[in-house]
Structure 1
Amino acid sequence: MIVTGLRKIESWVVAVAIVANVSGAFVLLSLVAIMNVDVVSRNLFNAPFRGVVEVVVFSLALIVFLQLPDVVRTGRLTRSDGFLGLLRTHRPRLGDALTRVLDGIAFLFMCLIVWTVWPEFTESFESCHFFTPPEFGAPATGNLWVDFKTALGRCDYFGTPGILQAPWWPVRLAIAFGCAWAAILFFFKTILGDTQDTRHVTAQTSGEE
């Protein structure tokens, strides 16, 4: 009964991971489009896209951490698993037990990352003063759009002033979300085992269909 309930919860967690992966793919497509626009405008019109470096940095962080949970789900997180693969082939029970131990360690590491990043996210988000009156600057006017743009200008940001600036909190939120969801998936792998029928690409399996 408990296992059945955990598997139902896991299915919802997996669904969110897939949606996050698709979102990361859309960010990647947008990045490719921006890079192509920069190349064309730079070579044909001698007018490079201003802030392309900042866009790349911002997008890469979003792509990596939005797609991290689905990478964990499918078992394609980069690792050296030659010994583990042999052990699971010749001693399945011992191999499965060791896999669960490693997933449990990965769960702890992901939790540590979330514990480290979350205060940074809250600090950068609170610097915008979306819901609280700012200590300095113009007070709220009551116009939601005007107040929102004013708050964005107060945010802790990265980039180059006058070229492109973006608030830090969306990136830190993506990092916290990606690591938290990866931790949840590692937790289910530790408790329930790896239910995904996946094979890692190794020297032994790279030529198999």
Structure 2
Amino acid sequence: MSANTTGEGAGTPDEDAYVPPFSEAPVGAILGGLAAILSSIGTAWIGALMLLIIADVVGRNFLDAPITGVSEIAARSVVAIVFLQVAAAILQRRLTRADFVLRRLEGASPRTLALFETVFALAGAVIFALVLWASYPKLADAWRTAEFFGVQGVFTIPTWPFRLITVVGSGLAALAALYVANDEIRKLRRAS
């Protein structure tokens, strides 16, 4: 399989080798690099979380020694992992969507598909910008008040790192969505 750097061929058998067009432009390369780093951290976090859960299950069932705080860590980790990986999903056009509709649109009218993708990306940019706007004050408050979760004296973790991940992830996701929208607008102009 060869990597496809033209942006064509998404959804083909070479989909796993698909290199999105953001890798061709300097801004896109930086954005894509940051998204890839965060996504890699999220992937490693998934592995660590799985090991922690397995250790808790083994400890609880076979050694009568559960690990304290696993449910709290898992609950916060799921949200953090999503925000670490969402920008890469947007840039690689792998965000959850109804592909059967998009394939029909592409077959009927590539221009309509590009318009649909532009609207979808702009809506995503607005939504993630709103998440950023709503999350930043909570990050500042968590930092200022030394907010934590868990049971004091038993198990506590500060909340600010998790809130920081939400802020950084939503900001990067908004930029990624704007980049995709710009790419789709260029496709629309070329089709005109």
**One fold, TM greater than 0.5?**
yes
Task: Classify the TM-score, shorter chain.
Answer: 0.7 to 0.9
Residue aligning to 2:151 = 160
| Residue 172 (structure 2) aligned to one of 181, 184, 187 | 181
Task: Name the SS for the 1:50 alignment partner.
Answer: coil
Kindly provide the amino acid, as one letter, of the partner of residue 105 in structure 1.
Answer: A
1:19-70 residue CA offsets vs partner (Å, 9 max, x unmatched):
0011011111111111111122112221111111111112212211111111
Return the structure number with greater helix share: 2
Task: Name the SS for the 2:150 alignment partner.
Answer: strand
1:162-203 residue CA offsets vs partner (Å, 9 max, x unmatched):
3321111111111111111111111011112299xxxxxxxx
Residue aligning to 1:49 = 67
Kindly provide the amino acid, as one letter, of the partner of residue 31 in structure 1.
Answer: L
Percent identical pairs in the alignment equals 26
Task: Name the SS for the 1:159 alignment partner.
Answer: strand
Kindly provide the amino acid, as one letter, of the partner of residue 28 in structure 2.
Answer: E
Work out whether residues 31 and 56 of structure 1, in 8 Å CA contact, stay in contact via their aligned partners in 2. Answer: yes
Corresponding residue pairs, total: 164
Residue aligning to 2:117 = 99
Provide the rounded CA distance (Å) in 2 between the counterparts of 1:73 and 1:194: 15
Q: Could you tell me which runs of 5 or more consecutive residues in structure 2 were left unpaired when the two chains were aligned.
A: 1-21, 187-192
Residue aligning to 1:120 = 138
| Residue 87 (structure 2) aligned to one of 64, 69, 77 | 69
Work out whether residues 27 and 62 of structure 1, in 8 Å CA contact, stay in contact via their aligned partners in 2. Answer: no
Task: Name the SS for the 1:193 alignment partner.
Answer: helix
Work out whether residues 115 and 185 of structure 2, in 8 Å CA contact, stay in contact via their aligned partners in 1. Answer: no
Work out whether residues 14 and 73 of structure 1, in 8 Å CA contact, stay in contact via their aligned partners in 2. Answer: yes
Provide the rounded CA distance (Å) in 2 between the counterparts of 1:55 and 1:95: 41
TM-score by length of 2: 0.79
Residue aligning to 1:33 = 51
Provide the rounded CA distance (Å) in 1 between the counterparts of 2:63 and 2:185: 53
Provide the rounded CA distance (Å) in 2 between the counterparts of 1:163 and 1:35: 19
Task: Name the SS for the 2:25 alignment partner.
Answer: helix
The change in CA–CA distance for 1:194 and 1:89 in structure 2 (over 3 A counts) is farther
| Residue 170 (structure 1) aligned to one of 161, 167, 171 | 161
Residue aligning to 1:110 = 128
Residue aligning to 2:27 = 9
Provide the rounded CA distance (Å) in 1 between the counterparts of 2:70 and 2:153: 13
Provide the rounded CA distance (Å) in 2 between the counterparts of 1:171 and 1:113: 14
Task: Name the SS for the 2:98 alignment partner.
Answer: coil
Residue aligning to 2:5 = none
Structure with the greater relative contact order (CA < 8 A, sep ≥ 6): 1 or 2? 1
Instruction: Provide the aligned C-alpha RMSD in A.
Output: 2.0
Instruction: Give the structure with higher Rg (CA).
Output: 1
Q: Could you tell me which runs of 5 or more consecutive residues in structure 1 were left unpaired when the two chains were aligned.
A: 128-154, 196-209
